Amino acid sequence: MRILAAMSGGVDSAVAAARAVEAGHDVVGVHLALSRAGGTLRTGSRGCCTIEDAMDARRAADRLGIPFYVWDFSERFRDDVIDDFIAEYRAGRTPNPCMRCNEKIKFAALLERALELGFDAVCTGHYAKLVDGPEGLELHRASDAAKDQSYVLGVLTAEQLAHTYFPLGSTPSKALVRAEAEERGLTVAHKPDSHDICFIPDGDTRGWLAEKVGTAPGEIVDRTGAVVGKHEGAHAFTVGQRRGLALGVPAPDGKPRFVLEVRPVSNTVVVGPKEALATAEIAGERFTWAGRAPSTDEFACDVQIRAHADPVPAHAVIADGVVTVRPEQPFEGVAPGQTAVMYDGTRVIGQFTIDRTVSAVPVGA
């Protein structure tokens, strides 16, 4: 096949490209420039898509003997990922920018251009498997459970999966990938993995949002509506947060309180006991299927609500354009804006953005 290898400058994408070459494919490497801040630098494991990353990707491509290009996707990234991130926080939701990047950039904008240029597939260093199932291509968890990235790939559609190549999915461990990179003479063999939000390299999401959204003083209330504190902007709070609340009125039982809800219209933050974070139901109308759609409108599944959360057995119902999921045991600390990915064993069924949550603990209970 003609393969376009997305090379981030990290060890995973470099080894994925190397395996594609070794498999006999016609491979071209491409690095996506996602920031117009030309002097952006990398600090240890913080940040990605920097000048250093582009240079590391180029060196890896040179070592593999494949053509290499840098494509400027910064405008698309700003519109579809950064602006979306800001808008979601303004609306009181907690977005996952990695999901949006995979959905809108790596497997939409990049794949679209790749197909236009005559490539058959885009290759990435994600840890996930593609399996030829009885009813078509299926997306499955990787062999290495610790590195599995099927959750952040849950937004991919059947058409996108048909033009995707994941060479690392069956690798038992990340240590083997690093060892392979060293054997191949790739200088990124021991480069730290990037983490946190790539466009907020210092990790200060609260400060970054304050600069972008601004401050707006408001009230912190308990579940009965009683004012227990003040804040400088509701966007700075996320469901499940405990620290940094600076409450002026202690809880009657003296126990810590957690953020239960963010109400952007009234600029109010609701807090309460840890038990009230238990969520009995989630629902959303923005959903996609990774391969074939469910054959019935009701089905059992496992649901994962964060990239590193444990899957929870649940029952899903599709009605009136909305997916509703009720877990066998309550979720904890779910916020609108998060992504719920549904699994059948290791196979990804699909995903939806959570629009609504129902607490398992009624007010006053």
Q: List residues with catalytic annotation.
A: 101, 198
Q: Where are the alpha helices (DSSP H) in the chain?
A: 11-22, 51-64, 74-77, 83-90, 97-101, 110-116, 158-161, 174-183, 205-213
CA dist., res. 23 & res. 3, Å (int): 11
Tokens 């996108």 belong to which residue? 160
Q: How far is CA 279 from CA 73, 261, 289, in A?
A: 38, 12, 24
Q: How far is CA 264 from CA 235, 261, 267, in A?
A: 8, 10, 5
Q: In this structure, what are the phi and psi dihedrals at residue 15, rounded to the nearest 5 degrees?
A: -70, -35
Tokens coding 250: 């202690």
Q: How far is CA 299 from CA 119, 135, 167, 294, 302, in A?
A: 37, 17, 31, 8, 10
Helix-strand-coil split of the chain, %, nearest 5:
25, 30, 45
Q: In this structure, what are the phi and psi dihedrals at residue 144, rounded to the nearest 5 degrees?
A: -85, 100
Helix (H) and strand (E) counts for the chain? Answer: 9, 20
Contact between residue 71 and residue 49 where contact means Cβ atoms under 8 Å apart: no
Question: Helices 11-22 & 51-64, crossing angle to 10 degrees?
Answer: 20
Q: Under 8 Å CB-to-CB from 250, ≥6 apart: which residues?
A: none
